[in-house]
Amino acid sequence: MTEYEMEPVPGLPGLLPKGETIIWQGAPNWRVLARTAFHTGTVAAYFAALTVFALGAALWRGVEAPSDLAGVAITIGGMIVGLALLHLLAWAVARSTIYTLTDRRVVLRFGVALPKCINLPLGIIGNVDLRQRANGTGDLAIKLNSEQRLGYAALWPHARAWHYVEPQPMMRAVPDVDAVATLLARACLSIQTDGRVVPIEAAARRAQAEEQAVAA
């Protein structure tokens, strides 16, 4: 029996305190997670380029027997195995992850081999950046006002890319992310009454500018 099977409330480290209510629970879409967190598209393109190079080299030398295409076969085999492993890892990560939003906190429960649970009180959330995709999924990156820092390695892959100095927890590949973002905004505003909601277009431009600045 695993730790998750013994949870009194799935996705939470214990029973809800009196008066606290679960607003939403969800998990990443594993196919989207494979593309965005494990970069299966980039890996596939890399191996495709290697395959073209290996095939070109074989044709340049001259193909007289099937063994002359051994390099091409090895490259294709490596691509299949590599992509299969990445998709399996994405599936395992998504299966072991539950994101929970209550009227007091955000809880990230994740970990394939080493289960962990991270509580983020709504009162320390300084900003939430939304990244939407055409298929309705998206990411919610959470910037904290707390002086306590979370480790990037401890959060990964549920961490915003390139933010190593001040890691930001991220709910990745969330289905129907627009609705979830609305629920999260309302929950935060109920705690932080002086907060405000920035239009999606403006928030997206700001998030893009921040990522470019961090990458530079």
How much is the pLDDT for 13? 85
Q: What CATH number should be reported for the domain holding residue 208?
A: 2.30.29
- Same domain? For 147 and 82 the reply is no
**7's tokens:** 């949870």
Residue 91 has pLDDT above 80, yes or no: yes
**48's tokens:** 């495709």
Helix count (H) and strand count (E) of the chain? Answer: 6, 7
Task: For residue 128, give the nearest of 213, 175, 187, 194 by alpha carbon.
Answer: 187
- Same domain? For 109 and 209 the reply is yes
pLDDT tens digits along 30-45? 999 999 999 999 999 9
Question: 186 has which bridge partners?
Answer: none
Angle (CA) 99 105 110, round 5°: 30
- Same domain? For 40 and 119 the reply is no
Residue at 176 is within a domain: yes
Question: 142 has which bridge partners?
Answer: 128
Count of domains for the chain: 2
Distances (CA, A) of 10 to 4, 22, 26: 7, 11, 11
Give 117's pLDDT tier (boundaries 50, 70, 90).
very high
Residue at 2 is within a domain: no
Mean pLDDT over 184-202 rounds to: 73
Tell which of 59, 74, 93 closes a domain.
Answer: 93
- Same domain? For 118 and 87 the reply is no
Mean pLDDT over 17-26 rounds to: 95
Helix (H, G, I), strand (E, B) or coil at 11: coil
The mean predicted confidence, pLDDT, of the chain is: 86
- Same domain? For 210 and 121 the reply is yes
Mean pLDDT over 95-114 rounds to: 94
- Same domain? For 140 and 45 the reply is no
Residue 202 has pLDDT above 50, yes or no: no
How much is the pLDDT for 70? 74
Residue 194 has pLDDT above 90, yes or no: no
Residue 2 has pLDDT above 50, yes or no: no
Residue at 78 is within a domain: yes
What is the CA 173 to chain-centroid distance, rounded? 6
Residue at 8 is within a domain: no
**112's tokens:** 């394939």
Q: Which domain holds residue 144?
A: 101-215
Residue at 20 is within a domain: no
Residue at 15 is within a domain: no
Would the CA dihedral through 68, 82, 135, 161 be positive or negative? negative
Between 181 and 198, residue with greater pLDDT: 181
Looking up tokens 């030398």 gives 61
- Same domain? For 122 and 186 the reply is yes
How much is the pLDDT for 1? 32
Max Cα–Cα distance, the chain, nearest Å? 76
**136, 35 Cβ separation under 8 angstroms:** no
Percent of the chain residues topping a pLDDT of 70: 83
- Same domain? For 129 and 170 the reply is yes
Residue 132 identity (one-letter amino acid)? Q
Tell which of 64, 93, 122 closes a domain.
Answer: 93
Looking up tokens 């919610």 gives 140
pLDDT tens digits along 131-152? 999 999 999 999 999 877 889 9
pLDDT tens digits along 153-188? 999 999 999 999 899 999 999 999 999 999 999 999
Tell which of 59, 93, 127 closes a domain.
Answer: 93
Residue at 106 is within a domain: yes
How much is the pLDDT for 65? 58
- Same domain? For 78 and 181 the reply is no
**72's tokens:** 């091409």
- Same domain? For 65 and 139 the reply is no
- Same domain? For 72 and 115 the reply is no
Phi, psi for residue 117 in degrees, rounded to 5: -135, 125
Residue at 116 is within a domain: yes
Residue 102 has pLDDT above 60, yes or no: yes
CA–CA gap between residue 207 and residue 129 (Å, rounded): 7
- Same domain? For 115 and 38 the reply is no
